[in-house]
Structure 1
Amino acid sequence: MNAFKGLLWKDFKTSKVWFYGWIAIIFLIYIIGMVIGNFVNEPIIVQIFIIMIGVFHIAFLPGIVVSMLRLEGKTQLWLHSPNSGFMLLLPKLIIAFIYSTVSLLIVDLLGVITMAVFPEDSIFSYWPIKEGILFNLGVTVVGLYFSGWTIFLWTFYHSLSKYPSIKSIRWIFVAGFIIVYQSVVAFLMSIEWVERFLFDTFTVEVSSGVFFSVGSNEANAGFDPEMILLPLLPLVFEGMVMMIVFIIACWLLDRKVEV
């Protein structure tokens, strides 16, 4: 446990500059939105900028993971580390998750401040607490999914460096793996009974989407009242795939990947 805490602290110290830089970018984008909104006399633009920042977190989570992996690769410390690949990779995923969560909460706070300052010029006609929670959850889940794949593809790419004959064309094998995986998934989805099982077995009712309207004197947004069935098994399948590729990445790292 002490070793795991030490790895968490190490990853925090080596990545905090990236996080602080990201927070600075958030405030810079927010200020730009405020300036543009005041210039055109449309405060609603500020909220649009805030939503854009929130969407950017889908890329932020895997991006911070990549920055930590690249920094770790430069030091080559894990070639001589007694810890397992799981112990080396999991802290990076946890730190990235914490960064993303804190960053999203800051964005939420900026949204609350904006709605409080401009109550008459808001996208929503009410406090969108449920929408905000679902938005943060969705962005985080998608970000974690891409982070898992990022860790796997990065580890897979560098594991091929053990073979000098293909070291210079490793990217072809990575691209080939992606193509083969997508082809297998597409083939499975083309089988009628597989498609029915995945999409019709377990479903929940959710809103059909988000509406967003802007008029000359008003703007409104929210969830559409029309409900559709959301299949749960494809989400479970993708979650299992992410766990499998993460386990494989840990196994590859246990073989002392050289980067």
Structure 2
Amino acid sequence: MNPIKGLLKKDYRISRFLFLTWIGAMLVMLSFGIGMSAYTNQPAGTLTVIVLLGLSLAVFAPVMMLSMLVTEGKNQLWLYSPRSSYSLLLSKFAIILIYQLITQVLLTIYTAFSMYWFGKAVYEQLSIGLFLELAIFVNIGLVLLGIFLTCWITFYWTIYHALKRYPKIRNFRWLVIIFIFFGYNLLETLVLRIDAISTFIFKYNLDLLPLTSLNYEDESWNVLIDIVEIPIIPFFYFVILSLFLFYIASKLLAKKVEV
């Protein structure tokens, strides 16, 4: 068997139960949203389900990665694997990305159904062109956010278990992780307070059209759409940071982290 295919199949086997459970929970929520909207005769009620599931998909990838790392860590397979640490982690990222795309396509189809077949009058501002623009942006954003958070989770997990080799701090590893978390956020906050840096970061923006609010009028709900600006510079920073976190995690895993 091709080594890459073998890695992918292995990661699929150890993660499919959680993925199928997640899909099952999504289907229950989607059905609940349509049922409640039909019962109350308020099609915009599905928007609550869409938003909640969208927020859950932002953490789907890191949760899945943590589950896979914990599961595989129990059998210590990578201690004896001839594959590089990069390939071991990239295989997991690939499987998670496939899962993420499947769940996002499911939610996008549900959203289109809710807006155009179930409650078109409620979303009267939303043309097909705007919907496609919004769907593309949100889906790309969720994928990128998922990858970014997954890199952080992988980094924290490898740091935590790498510290196990040092008996004096073995029982205080969580404090190290907490220190890194708050230390990074504090440093980022202080840097953003520097006027020159803050001005540069928010100098270039991209206009987008997201769903922003619900308006209740004449005993019915309407969805309002507005333009917001998204800074572009942070995108490149987060890409570089994600690559750095992945690099450090891979290097630590290459040292045969024992968990």
> How far, CA to CA, are the matches of 2:226 and 2:84 in structure 1?
45
Deviation at 1:191, TM superposition (A): 2.8
Q: Deviations over 1:33-63 (max 9, x none)?
A: 1232233222321233123212210011111
Deviation at 1:115, TM superposition (A): 3.5
Q: Classify the secondary structure of the residue corresponding to 2:31.
A: helix
2:58 counterpart residue number: 58
Alignment gaps of 5+ in structure 2:
none
Deviation at 1:23, TM superposition (A): 0.9
Matches within 5 A, 1:62-73: 62-73=62-73
Deviation at 1:161, TM superposition (A): 0.7
1:44 counterpart residue number: 44
Judged with a 3 Å threshold, the aligned counterparts in structure 2 of structure 1 residues 195 and 115 are, in CA distance, closer, same or farther, namely closer
Q: Deviations over 1:70-124 (max 9, x none)?
A: 1111111111111121111111111111101111101112223333442445435
1:115 counterpart residue number: 115
Which region of structure 1 is more displaced relative to structure 2, 140-149 or 113-122? 113-122
> How far, CA to CA, are the matches of 2:15 and 2:52 in structure 1?
24
2:17 counterpart residue number: 17
Quick check: 1:204–1:231 contact (8 Å CA) kept in 2?
Answer: yes
> How far, CA to CA, are the matches of 1:24 and 1:212 in structure 2?
28
Matches within 5 A, 1:1-259: 2-125=2-125, 126-127=127-128, 128-200=131-203, 203-207=204-208, 210-215=211-216, 216-224=219-227, 228=229, 230-259=230-259
Quick check: 2:215–2:223 contact (8 Å CA) kept in 1?
Answer: yes
Q: Deviations over 1:118-148 (max 9, x none)?
A: 2445435433121111111112211111011
Q: Deviations over 1:186-221 (max 9, x none)?
A: 332233333333333xx1331486432322245133
Q: Classify the secondary structure of the residue corresponding to 1:206.
A: strand
Which region of structure 1 is more displaced relative to structure 2, 42-51 or 72-81? 42-51
Alignment gaps of 5+ in structure 1:
none
Judged with a 3 Å threshold, the aligned counterparts in structure 2 of structure 1 residues 179 and 120 are, in CA distance, closer, same or farther, namely closer
> How far, CA to CA, are the matches of 2:67 and 2:96 in structure 1?
10
Deviation at 1:164, TM superposition (A): 1.7
Judged with a 3 Å threshold, the aligned counterparts in structure 2 of structure 1 residues 179 and 122 are, in CA distance, closer, same or farther, namely same
Deviation at 1:184, TM superposition (A): 2.4
> How far, CA to CA, are the matches of 1:124 and 1:165 in structure 2?
63
Q: Classify the secondary structure of the residue corresponding to 1:169.
A: helix
> How far, CA to CA, are the matches of 2:27 and 2:180 in structure 1?
39
Q: Classify the secondary structure of the residue corresponding to 2:83.
A: coil
Quick check: 2:214–2:223 contact (8 Å CA) kept in 1?
Answer: yes
Quick check: 1:152–1:246 contact (8 Å CA) kept in 2?
Answer: yes
Q: Classify the secondary structure of the residue corresponding to 1:81.
A: coil
Quick check: 1:124–1:222 contact (8 Å CA) kept in 2?
Answer: no
Judged with a 3 Å threshold, the aligned counterparts in structure 2 of structure 1 residues 151 and 44 are, in CA distance, closer, same or farther, namely same
> How far, CA to CA, are the matches of 1:189 and 1:116 in structure 2?
42
> How far, CA to CA, are the matches of 2:241 and 2:35 in structure 1?
44
Amino acid at match of 2:101: T
Amino acid at match of 1:253: L
Q: Classify the secondary structure of the residue corresponding to 2:36.
A: helix
Amino acid at match of 1:107: L
Alignment coverage as a number of residue pairs: 254
TM-score, normalised by the number of residues in structure 2: 0.89
Judged with a 3 Å threshold, the aligned counterparts in structure 2 of structure 1 residues 209 and 101 are, in CA distance, closer, same or farther, namely closer
Judged with a 3 Å threshold, the aligned counterparts in structure 2 of structure 1 residues 119 and 43 are, in CA distance, closer, same or farther, namely closer
Which region of structure 1 is more displaced relative to structure 2, 123-132 or 83-92? 123-132
Amino acid at match of 2:158: T
Identity of aligned residues (%): 28
RMSD (Å) for aligned C-alpha atoms: 2.1
Quick check: 1:157–1:170 contact (8 Å CA) kept in 2?
Answer: yes
